Every structure is written in structure tokens, then in C-alpha cells.
């Protein structure tokens, strides 16, 4: 029983040590997502999926996503990052 407690304690200590923010990279910036801007479209089965990304202001980027097929819109989504 003592071996189990010791191993559990060591495992918890190791997880705590490796989960520290010391391994985190630099903070992400909205400018890093500039490659996403523009119009993207493709077929998804019988449907057409469109994404329109605009580079935002004030630290955000936004998109409108639409899926159409058979003469109707089946999905619409607004995204803000």
C-alpha cells in the first residue's frame, strides 16, 4: 500500500511540474491568423460550404460560414476569435 501511495505522489508531482506555464510558448496574436482571411469554399457531399473571413480590428477576427444545397441554406454560423 505504501508503494502505491508513493507512486501516486510521484505521478502527481510529475504532472504538476510538467504542467507549469514554463513550457508555454509566446502568447498568440490575432495577426498570426492573417492567413485565414479571404473566401474559402468547397463541396461537402451534395452541399457547398463557404467561409468568409475578415481581418478584424480591436484584437478580433470574424467569419461568416454558410452551407447550401438543393436550393436552400442548411447552416449559417458567425465566428469571432
Rounded CA gap, 32 and 25, in Å? 14
| 37-50 per-position pLDDT tens digit | 999 999 999 999 99
- pTM: predicted TM-score of the whole model, two decimal places: 0.62
Rounded CA gap, 64 and 30, in Å? 17
Between the CA of residue 3 and those of 6, 10, 13, 15, 29, what are the distances in Å? 5, 10, 15, 18, 46
| 62-73 per-position pLDDT tens digit | 999 999 999 999
Rounded CA gap, 68 and 53, in Å? 18
Amino acid at each position: 500500500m505504501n508503494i502505491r501511495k508513493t507512486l501516486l505522489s510521484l505521478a502527481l508531482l510529475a504532472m504538476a511540474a510538467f504542467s507549469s506555464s514554463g513550457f508555454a510558448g509566446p502568447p498568440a496574436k490575432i495577426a498570426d491568423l492573417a492567413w485565414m482571411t479571404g473566401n474559402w469554399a468547397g463541396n461537402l457531399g451534395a452541399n457547398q460550404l463557404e467561409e468568409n473571413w475578415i481581418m478584424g480590428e480591436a484584437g478580433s477576427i470574424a467569419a461568416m460560414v454558410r452551407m447550401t444545397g438543393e436550393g436552400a441554406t442548411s447552416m449559417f454560423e458567425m465566428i469571432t476569435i
